[in-house]
Amino acid sequence: MFGRKQRRHSVIDTLVGSNSKVSGDLFFSGGCHVDGAVKGSVTADADSNSALSISEDGSVEGGVSVPYVVLNGIVRGDVVASQRVELGSTARVIGNVYYNLIEMAIGAEINGKLVHQPEGQVPLLEQESGKATSAIPVHGTG
């Protein structure tokens, strides 16, 4: 009913544990949870229902391109969520956020632009013009 969050993926198929560090790109399908560190991009097929969750102790140094993203940790790179992105109060993004739907908690930080990309639209990252007319620069907390 009202106020209840629907979880896209409650099953974790891929886990980067708190004592783990991944050097290189990570491509997954299904559900992925990051408690450790990933130095490389994290990607899932845009046409899937794949979901990535990054805990407040987790970090990614590289781009993230996943349909559903729940972020409570740090991403140093662009975040592209073709369906939905949730930014918790401890979320930090040092890069741009490209989203279809977004939910931000008080305290979340984005040091880059928020770029709305409605479902079915060609991603602005792939357009040659390079002009992000719907981009909203965000500084500080919000």
For 36-84, the pLDDT digits (tens) are 999 999 999 988 999 999 999 999 999 999 999 999 999 999 999 999 9
**Is the pLDDT at 29 greater than 70, yes or no?**
yes
Q: Would you say residue 91 lies in a domain?
A: yes
Q: Would you say residue 133 lies in a domain?
A: yes
Give the β-pairing of 135-138 and 112-116.
antiparallel
Token representation of residue 116: 């709305």
Q: What's the whole-number average pLDDT of the chain?
A: 85
Q: How many domains does the chain have?
A: 1
CB 119 within 8 A of CB 99: no
Confidence of residue 17 (pLDDT cuts 50, 70, 90): very high
The pLDDT score that the predictor gives to residue 4 is 44
Q: Would you say residue 46 lies in a domain?
A: yes
The pLDDT score that the predictor gives to residue 7 is 47
Which uninterrupted H or E stretch holds 70?
strand 68-71
Confidence of residue 119 (pLDDT cuts 50, 70, 90): confident
Q: Would you say residue 116 lies in a domain?
A: yes
Q: Which residues contact 139 (CB under 8 A, 6 or more apart)?
A: 111
The pLDDT score that the predictor gives to residue 84 is 96
Which structural domain, as residue segments, surrounds residue 21?
Answer: 14-138
Side-chain-facing half-sphere of 4: CA atoms under 13 Å:
5
Confidence of residue 11 (pLDDT cuts 50, 70, 90): confident
Instruction: Report pTM.
Output: 0.80
Q: Would you say residue 8 lies in a domain?
A: no
Q: Would you say residue 1 lies in a domain?
A: no
**Is the pLDDT at 131 greater than 60, yes or no?**
no
Which has the higher per-residue pLDDT, 88 or 124? 88
The closest alpha carbon to 88, from 111, 106, 100, 64, belongs to 106
Q: How far apart are CA 31 and CA 110, in angstroms?
A: 24
